[in-house]
Amino acid sequence: MLTEACAVLDLIEDRMAHPAGGYAEGLPPQQPRRQNPHMHLLEACLAWLTRVDNSHFSRVAHELIGLFARKFLDKSSFMLFEFFEDDLSLHHDADTRVFEPGHHFEWVWLLGKARRSGLDVSGAGLEVARALAATAQAFGFAQETGLPFGTVRADGSVADGTCRIWVVTEWLRACLDEPASGCGSAKHAFAQLRRFTDVPVKGLWHERCDARSGQFSNESVPASSLYHIVSALAPVIGTETSCAGNKVAGACLM
C-alpha cells in the first residue's frame, strides 16, 4: 500500500503540479481552482506520516501548509475562501467569495495534526487555528439552533443555510483534537451529532437540515458521509486505530 500511495503522489506531482502553486484539480485542468482538493491531499499525506517516516509525504504536506498560509487564507478577515483564479488570486466573481465553516474546522485539526507530526507550520500555527475558529464562531452558526451553516459570504451573510452532517462531524473533531483553538464545546457538538443519528434505522443518519429551524430534509444519505462520522467518533472512542482493532465493527458507531 505504501508503494502504491507513493506512486499516486508521484503521478500528482508529475502530471498535476501547477506553475502558480499547488495542483490542478483534474486532467484536463478545471476552473475555478479550489482549496478543497489541496486540503484532502494534505489530509492524506498527514495520515501516512502517522504510519511511516517518509520525506515525500512530509515535503508535500509542508508545501500545502505554505500554500494555505500564502494563498487560501485571507489574513485580513481570517476567512478561508473556496474558489480562486488560475494564479490562485481570489476569484473575480463576488458570489464565489465564500467560506465554509466545516472547512475551517477541518483545517483547524489538520494544522494541529501537522504540528504534532513535527512539521514546520510557520504562519499557520495555533494562533491561526484560533483565528479560523473565531471566524467560524462569529459568522458560521445559526443563533436559533447552534448549528453551523453550509456556506457564508465574505460580508458575513449566509449563502447556504443548510447544515450537513459532515460539517457537524468536522466541528466535533476540531473540538476534540484542538481544544485550545476555541472551536467550541465538544459536548455540544456531540449532542448535535446525536440528533442527526437519531433515526429509525440505526447506522443511518439525517444528511442535512435547515440550520435555523433544525428541520431535517427527507432524502437519501450518501455513503461519503460515513467517513466523516467514523473519523469524528474515533477520538471519542480512543485512538484512531481503535475501530480497526474492534472485533465488533458496529461498536465503533455506538
Cβ atoms of 32 and 83 within 8 Å: the answer is: yes
Q: Which of 35-49, 78-92, 110-124, 157-171 is least confident? A: 110-124
Give the SS3 label for residue 110: helix
Of 8-12, 43-47, 117-121, 209-213, give the lowest mean pLDDT range. 117-121
Contact 152, 158 (CB under 8 A): yes
What domain range is 202 assigned to? 2-253
**For residue 206, which amino acid is it?**
H
Phi, psi of 163 (to 5 degrees): -120, 120
Q: How confident is the model at residue 238 (pLDDT cuts 50, 70, 90)?
A: low
Q: Cα dist. 82→111, 146, 153, 172, 220 in Å?
A: 17, 23, 11, 21, 26
- E strand or H helix at 136, and its extent? helix 126-139
Structural domain tally of the chain?
1
pTM > 0.95? no
Rounded to whole angstroms, how far apart are CA atoms 82 and 86? 13
What's the confidence (pLDDT) of residue 5?
96
Q: Tell me, what's the pLDDT at 120?
A: 87
* Residue 21 falls in which region: left (phi positive, over 0), alpha (psi -120 to 50) or beta: left
Residues 180-201, mean pLDDT to the nearest whole number: 95
d(CA 189, CA 223): 21
Looking at residue 254, its pLDDT comes to: 38
pLDDT value at residue 244: 43
- Write out 203-237 in H/E/C secondary structure: CECCCEEECCCCCECCCCCCCHHHHHHHHHHHHHH
Q: How far is CA 144 from CA 16, 211, 214, in A?
A: 44, 8, 9
Residue 212's CATH number: 1.50.10.10
C-alpha cell at 103: 472547512
Contact between 165 and 205 (Cβ < 8 Å): yes
